[in-house]
Amino acid sequence: MARITAGVGSSHVPLLGVAVDQGKTRDDYFGPIFAGYDWTKQWEEAQKPDVVILVYNDHASAFDANIIPTFAIGCGESYKSADEGWGPRPVPDVEGHADLAWHIAQSLILDEFDMTIINEMDVDHGLTVPLSMMFGTPDKWPCKVVPLAVNVVTYPVPSGNRCWALGEAIARAVDSFPEDLNVQIWGTGGMSHQLQGPRAGLLNREWDNKFLDLLEAEGDAARHIPHIEYLRETGSEGIEMVMWLIMRGALGRKVKRLHRHYHIPCSNTAIGHIVLEPAQ
Amino acid sequence: MSAATQNIHEYLAEFEDIPGTRVYTAARARKGYWINQFAMSLMKADNRERFKADEKAYMDEWKLSDEAKEALLARDYNRLLDLGGNVYFLSKLFSTDGLSFAEAVSTMTDMTFPEYREMMNKGGRSPQGNRSIKGGY
């Protein structure tokens, strides 16, 4: 039987991808950021997940302004790195797990989550940067990936509560997949940042760390944080953190924190990273 | 389960109380649809070349208002936000110009890029006083 064995939260700032692609990950600027992922790289080598359900948002790459799916699941065989305006990142193609993805998609729809299904798409930094942070620069990614794209750009975006409930439903769906699979779920994006307007550059170390504390804690208080609080406290793009709640919701009421890292800044953004496992 | 469903009017009204921020609401998405679709087209290398060769001619192929074309030519990103542009779409224009995300973002503030970069390296803009226009906190 398939099982969700761990959850990972991580920022997915595009500049991190640039640092990896240009071999700058140990310089003065990026060194302290990447050092916080060394533990996780070793841990992932030992864990050897078969599949990662990777919750991220598309940044106007696969989806233009025409179609705006709230929750979309990639059910394809493979995905290429998107050209975001400066050529595609030189990373391996991302291999999907179509059997598991279609199983999750069907189960979620029966569970009243009306998913959009994607057969073909390119994946942008939102998905490839977390892979680089956790796995480095292999010739081939060491696991298959089920992309789960969330609209966190056009308001209203899904509520924290809905994201958490989706995570719970994903866990039920994975549990009912007959093949033995070690599955991780990653929630990406954030933490505090604002990329627009005169308030651009807002960061909030205190709030971000309270959010990380809530994720580690027993129970589900984080699901009830309203959108306006993310907007006021963490900048207009801090709302990406609702995607971490899908990951957290999939892990159950109680978790054990294995690793945590926080660094300011990376470009316009606060970097946060956490590794959790279910504790029931 | 969740509390009672939020009223959409109340939900949207709160967004107007955040200093220096244009939340990308459905109203902005509708208004800026062609600005964003134009910007999206710059993901293709051929389109980037054609745009760079003659910006005006390339923009004439899109359903852009004169105001939008003017703001795009001037790279006036705050104006573009007012016209319904979204930063993730506009970022294709940053890339076409060879600008880093941080440098492009800094043009929307009252700082130069070096000043903005220094603020970020010192911990970013404080939320203190930047959370609410009405509340002033």
Contacts of B2 (CB under 8 A, 6+ apart): A159, A161, A162
Q: What percent of chain B has pLDDT over 90?
A: 95
- Which whole-number Å values give the CA distances from A140 to A44, A131, A137, B37, in the listed order? 15, 11, 8, 33
CATH 3.40.1080.10 fits A3-278, yes or no: no
Decide if B129 touches A, using CB distance below 8 A.
Answer: no
Q: What percent of chain B has pLDDT over 70?
A: 97
d(CA A153, CA A126): 13
Q: What percent of chain A has pLDDT over 70?
A: 100
Encode pLDDT of A7-62 as tens digits: 999 999 999 999 999 999 999 999 999 999 999 999 999 999 999 999 999 999 99
Confidence class of residue B5 from pLDDT cuts 50, 70 and 90?
A: confident
- Torsion A42-A43-A46-A51 (CA) sign: negative
Decide if A22 touches B, using CB distance below 8 A.
Answer: no
d(CA A262, CA A90): 27
CA geometry: angle at A191 spanning A185 and A195, to 5°?
A: 125
Contact between A198 and B29 using a beta-carbon 8 Å cutoff: no
Phi, psi for residue A181 in degrees, rounded to 5: -140, 140
Decide if A67 touches B, using CB distance below 8 A.
Answer: no
pLDDT at position B80 over 50: yes
pLDDT at position B4 over 80: no
Confidence class of residue A280 from pLDDT cuts 50, 70 and 90?
A: confident
pLDDT at position B28 over 90: yes
Query: What's residue A59's pLDDT?
Result: 92
Decide if B13 touches A, using CB distance below 8 A.
Answer: no
Decide if B47 touches A, using CB distance below 8 A.
Answer: no
Name which of A48-52, A59-63, A207-211, B37-41 the model is least confident about: A59-63
CA distance B68 to chain A (A): 17
User: Is A249 in contact with A168 (CB distance < 8 Å)?
Assistant: yes
pLDDT at position A84 over 90: no
Contact residues, chain B, for A203 at CB < 8 Å:
120, 123-125
**Amino acid at site B120:** M
**Amino acid at site A12:** H
pLDDT at position B2 over 70: no
Contact between A200 and B106 using a beta-carbon 8 Å cutoff: yes
Contact between B15 and A61 using a beta-carbon 8 Å cutoff: no
pLDDT at position B1 over 80: no
**CA nearest to B43 within chain A:** A85
Q: What is the CATH number of domain B24-121?
A: 1.10.700.10
Q: Is A193 a catalytic residue?
A: yes
Q: Give the start-to-end residue ranges of the domains of chain B.
A: 24-121
Confidence class of residue A87 from pLDDT cuts 50, 70 and 90?
A: confident
Contact between A236 and B14 using a beta-carbon 8 Å cutoff: no
**Token pair listed for A237:** 């793009």
**ipTM passes above 0.90:** yes
DSSP codes of every residue in B87-116: HHHHHHHHHHTT--HHHHHHTTTTS-HHHH
CA B40 to chain centre: 13
pLDDT at position B3 over 70: no
To the nearest whole number, what is the mean pLDDT of chain A? Answer: 97
Decide if B21 touches A, using CB distance below 8 A.
Answer: yes
Residue/partner pairs of B113-118 with CB below 8 Å, 24 or more apart = B116/A200, B116/A201
Residue with tokens 């060769």: B53
CA distance B66 to chain A (A): 20
Q: Is A224 a catalytic residue?
A: no
